[in-house]
Structure 1
């Protein structure tokens, strides 16, 4: 598909575009990518394999810019990603996408934006800004989740805590790397090494870099907050363990003298006191030991 760059994106067929010869945005899939690149006057020698894209980057070549996008799906950050090639030369932008992701983005741009693509720079800004537009909301959801987990941990509700926290930390780590890549891409676009972009339009790429930088900073803050929440959880676990150890210590302290008494009377020496009628005395002595131990623990506020 072909859209003419202008105040509003206007869809054209190939014949209309060739007749007018206007700057345009091409959207194709990997099977037809070579044909479309030739149509746009872009030479690219390497293979176009969307499945091999692993991160976002921009490569400057002599006649064009070649970029890859590896965009996490907001509903499944740890799952599969949207993988897209994009090519930019003096006049045209070519997007290679085997899914309908880019098509949905362009439709949203046409529906939401008043100024949709007067220039290449404006279109690239709208395109990237559109798929990053919901990330702030996603990070806010993670923050609310972490706040709820912190409150539960402080109240002692720590069942399945680790199983819930670890996926959030992995998602945040993935997003932080992604925003770092996008920030670098925005800076490389702003450098305009090939001179494909008008200098007065470079501000758009600076805006993209700043947005990615803010999102990365927010993600780093959430990772630190997640560690704080984990510390709260660990303190609750330690408090429970200390409580259990304290209880076992109390039991051991009470039963140790009782064990000594029973062991002593179990030896059955001939001249042992109360050898023949000692049961009542042993019982009374044991009760006195238990009561004294309990009073001592009460005074020390252990019980």
Structure 2
């Protein structure tokens, strides 16, 4: 277990050794990071924790439950292809004088190490928790823009050539965007629940800050929806390009067949070998058929080129 002190007057976060007594001061609030097993041991001291114990061992989504004396829930971030930071999966229990983060991998400590250098100003535990959630989405708009740039390059490549692994790329982007879409939807619901303040724990100022957070997650959610629609448009473009390529092949084969159709007729006609056929015994008959065939082929090629079919 790792513990921190959050000073609401200064808005600063700092760690302190567990062997020392927690500095008793009205402005000092306890921030703890512990595993699910450690939380189970002390869970009897925290009301309504049964709702949280059933989720922290296998966290699958973001959610929150508000009560008259606490707010609890779970957070699970998706993995970004451009982000080297680890995936964050943790539960939280927000009380009046302390907040507990339950994480078996303890990765959330990496966030607190960065937040120790940040000053929140005159604050509260609710604002601190909001700051943690805002930190999780601080670069998400950049990640979404990177995905949009890659999709734009994929669209441009379709105009010149058809990629061999197109469907694999589309499937990969669809999985990423589907996860992000669900993630921002869950964060928006969480923010709206906090903003509505059914439990009455939050102050009007804190509700307003949660509204700002909700608006930000809604913008990310809308951006993700636009990218999903863009992905569908690119797939439709691929299908139209593929159909156009197939039509070109079919058109070419049709033109070639049409060019040689008269020659097939001539070969079949003069292959009957009737003795009274025209030019059958003429010394220049074979040469005349060759010249006629060449003239027909050249005439057809000129015609198809004018019609832009070749």
**Contact 1:28-1:97 within 8 A present in 2 as well:** yes
Q: Is the 8 A contact 2:68 2:200 kept in 1?
A: no
Does the CA contact (< 8 Å) of 2:69 and 2:95 recur in 1? yes
Distance 1:34 1:190 in 2: 29
Tell whether 2:186 aligns with 1:181: yes
User: How far off is 1:193 after superposition?
Assistant: 1.7
Q: 1:258 to 1:302 in 2, by over 3 A?
A: same
Other structure's SS at 2:100 match: strand
Is 1:8 aligned to residue 12 of structure 2? yes
Contact 1:5 1:25 in 2 (8 A): yes
Label 1:66 to 1:92 Cα distance change in 2 as closer, same or farther (>3 A). Answer: same
Contact 1:26 1:36 survives alignment (8 Å): no
Q: Report 1:235-254 matches (<5 A).
A: 235-254=240-259
What SS does the corresponding residue of 1:16 show, helix, strand or coil?
coil
- The 3 A distance-change label for structure 1 pair 2 and 195 is farther
Residue ranges of structure 2 left out of the alignment (5+ in a row): none
Kindly tell me: are residues 219 and 199 of structure 1, through their superposed partners in 2, closer, same or farther at Cα, counting changes over 3 Å? same
Q: CA deviation at 1:49?
A: 4.8
Which of 174, 190, 195 is the matching residue for 2:195?
190
Distance in 2 between residues matched to 1:223 and 1:72, nearest whole Å: 17
Aligned: 1:29 with 2:35: yes
1:44-88 Cα deviation digits (max 9, x unpaired): 2254454532211112346432211121022389xx953211112
Q: Which position in structure 1 is the counterpart of 2:115?
A: 109
Residues 1:258 and 2:273 aligned together? no
1:85-114 CA-partner distances (Å, limit 9, x unpaired): 111223321111112321111111112x22
1:132 maps onto 2:137 in alignment = yes
Structure 1 residue 211: Cα displacement: 1.0
The 3 A distance-change label for structure 1 pair 2 and 14 is: farther
Task: Look up the SS of the partner of 1:93 in the other structure.
Answer: strand
Alignment match, 1:291:
298
Decide whether the 8 Å contact of 1:53 with 1:68 is kept in 2.
yes
Task: Give the TM-score of the pair, scaled to structure 2.
Answer: 0.86
Q: 1:30–1:49: 8 Å Cα contact kept in structure 2? A: no
Which runs of 5 or more residues in structure 1 are unaligned? none
Instruction: Give the Cα separation in 1 of the matches to 2:288 and 2:43.
Output: 102
| 1:203-255 CA distance string (max 9 Å, x none) | 22112111101111111122222233333333332332222122111101111
Alignment of 1:196-275 (within 5 A): 196-275=201-280
RMSD of aligned Cα (Å)? 2.5
| Aligned-partner Cα distance in 2 for 1:54–1:276 | 90
Q: Report the 3-state secondary structure (helix = DSSP H, G, I; strand = E; otherwise coil) of the residue aligned with 1:67.
A: strand
1:71 to 77, 83, 95: 77
How far apart, in 2, do the equivalents of 1:93 and 1:245 lie?
A: 69
Q: Supply the distance in 2 between the matched residues of 1:289 and 1:51 (Cα, whole angstroms).
A: 81
Alignment partner of 2:292: what SS? helix
Counterpart residue number, 1:55: 61
Query: Would you say how many aligned residue pairs link Structure 1 and Structure 2?
Result: 299
For residues 182 and 204 of structure 1, the distance between their equivalents in structure 2, rounded to whole angstroms, comes to: 14
